[in-house]
Amino acid sequence: MVGDGINDAPALAAAHVGIAMGSARSELTLQTADAVVVRDDLTTIPTVIAMSRRARRIVVANLIVAVTFIAGLVVWDLAFTLPLPLGVARHEGSTIIVGLNGLRLLRHTAWRRAAGTAHR
């Protein structure tokens, strides 16, 4: 559901995905909408959808990387002796990798790529 945010807060709340367009005109709209697009331009919605799909893929990839690192550390510790400093370093290293992978969404090229896939 895409609305202008004036009187459609109940519909935005009931929708599976509610998007308020333009500068939100009411506090209730800000609370009920899942996303707020501050421009009054409907052509940005496909780009926002493409970017959200990309964000979901990156989150899933980050979860897989984190679980793989932790599982590897647990297996290593159970099968052999894992020194505490090495375990901490590997765990924190995986956290840094996951964080850096998530930062890919902030690049300007990510938005251009999302805009390109949205218009296909």
pLDDT in tens, 14-60: 888 888 887 656 778 778 888 888 877 888 888 888 888 999 999 99
Identify whether residues 83 and 58 lie together within a single domain: yes
Same domain, 30 and 48: no
48, 106: one domain: yes
Q: Which residues, listed in sequence order, are joined to residue 8 by a DSSP beta bridge? A: none
57 plus 107 within the same structural domain: yes
Q: Which residues contact 65 (CB under 8 A, 6 or more apart)?
A: 94, 97, 98, 101
- Considering the domain architecture, whether residues 52 and 111 belong to the same structural domain is answered as yes
Same domain, 49 and 29: no
**Which domain range does residue 54 map to?**
44-118
**Domain co-membership, 13 together with 53:** no
Q: How far apart are CA 33 and CA 21, in angstroms?
A: 10
Do residues 106 and 51 both lie within one domain? yes
Whether the per-residue pLDDT at 120 is higher than 60: the answer is no
Q: Give yes or no for residue 92 having a pLDDT over 70.
A: yes
Q: Are residues 58 and 30 in the same domain?
A: no
Chain centre distance of CA 46: 16
Domain count, the chain: 2
